[in-house]
A and B are shown apart, each in its own frame.
Chain A
Amino acid sequence: MRQDFEKLFSHLKPAEPPAGLFDRIILAIKREQELRHTKRLVFGFAGLLVISFIAIPFSWTMLVNQIEGSGISYFVSTAVSDFGTFFLLWQDFSLAILESLPLTGMIAFAVSLGITVFTLRLFLYRKRLLLNYLISYEYR
């Protein structure tokens, strides 16, 4: 019986997809891929922007506090005001300055500055893509 009905149904004219449909589908998928990529980029950019906005003032305050607490400014001002003594004892001076360097604060500030520069670079590099996405998002 099954074969009879299969034969019967084979007489039907099947609905044929139009010639350009396959290309349309591939194009739609490609467009979706690009959109997904841009979305990731926008979220990444926004995340980095937020991180850098928070991190820069914090790390700057931390660096300033550490510089003030470390006494490095005294060594530097002594070295500048009394250059003769500094020249005589330059090895001890250099060692003292190096020891009193606020390393944690400097690293934190450098990292947050690096993130900000990277975020700006990302924006400048992909500004058209990002702006297009944000503009088109408003009309969605």
Chain B
Amino acid sequence: MNLTDEQLVAGYLAGDEMALEILIKRYLRPIYSFTFRFVGDSQETEDITQEVFVKVWRNLKKFDKNKKFKTWIFTIAKNTCLDWQKKKKTLPLFFAETIRDPSPILNEPLDRILERLSPKYRMVLFLRYNDHFTFREIAESLGESIDTIKTRHRRGIAILKKLLKAK
């Protein structure tokens, strides 16, 4: 039986320990992948992913049942990543405006090309096409307006097309 996230949350709060394990298994890979895109280091990603799930468990009672669990957990993941970046006192990759590596992109694999996208565009595109989020879900997860997300998506696509043509 395939229970929804919200049903699993309700189940856990009613005393079903397994429900939490199912939720963690369901979101482990997407959250790990999201965090990895943010952090870029596998050891740090592991620690942050663990922290995200512990925070989820800690705040599960406060979860608003009228909201989507998916956007809620991604919001926690984003905030945990931002906290980590604040601790590191480095410029958040996600908000960096410039393309990091201006070297030629010919004959490079796709992930290297995507790395050339500004991280804020890359994040939107990843969430949209890799994690299959709707614009509303992306906006809620990243704490931005839908219009901002749509603009980032449009610009990101335009840049990506240019990069792919150049390839």
- Do A and B belong to a common assembly? yes
| CB of B12, distance to nearest CB on chain A (Å) | 11
- Least CB separation from A6: chain B residue: B129
Q: 1/0 per position for B48-59, CB-CB distance to A under 8 A?
A: 011001100110
Q: In whole angstroms, how far apart are the Cα atoms of A8 and B57 in the complex?
A: 34
Contact B110 A11 (CB under 8 A): yes
Chain B interface mostly: helix
Stretch from A25-33, A114-122, A123-131 contacting the other chain: A25-33
Stretch from A16-24, A41-49, A68-76, A103-111 contacting the other chain: A16-24
Contact of A14 among B33, B42, B54 (CB under 8 A): B33
Contact A12 B114 (CB under 8 A): yes
- Partner-B contacts on A (CB < 8 A): 2, 5-6, 8-18, 21-22, 24-26, 28-29, 32
- Is B73 in the interface zone, CB < 8 Å from A? no
Stretch from B20-28, B75-83, B96-104 contacting the other chain: B20-28
Q: Which of B42-71 contact A (CB under 8 A)?
A: 42, 45-46, 49-50, 53-54, 57-58
Total A-B pairs in contact (CB under 8 Å)? Answer: 67
Q: Which residues in B have their C-beta under 8 angstroms from that of A21? A: 28, 32, 46, 49-50
CB-defined A-B contacts under 8 Å, sample of 14: A10-B130, A11-B110, A12-B110, A12-B111, A13-B111, A17-B28, A17-B32, A17-B46, A21-B32, A21-B46, A21-B50, A24-B50, A29-B57, A32-B54
Chain A interface mostly: helix
- Partner-A contacts on B (CB < 8 A): 20-21, 24-25, 28-29, 32-33, 36-37, 42, 45-46, 49-50, 53-54, 57-58, 110-111, 114, 125-126, 128-130, 132, 157
Contact B129 A16 (CB under 8 A): no
Give the interface centre of B28, B29, B50 by most chain A CB atoms within 10 Å.
B50
Contact A5 B54 (CB under 8 A): no
Contact B46 A18 (CB under 8 A): yes
Q: Which residues in A have their C-beta under 8 angstroms from that of B49? A: 17, 21, 25
Q: In whole angstroms, how far apart are the Cα atoms of A21 and B50 in the complex?
A: 8
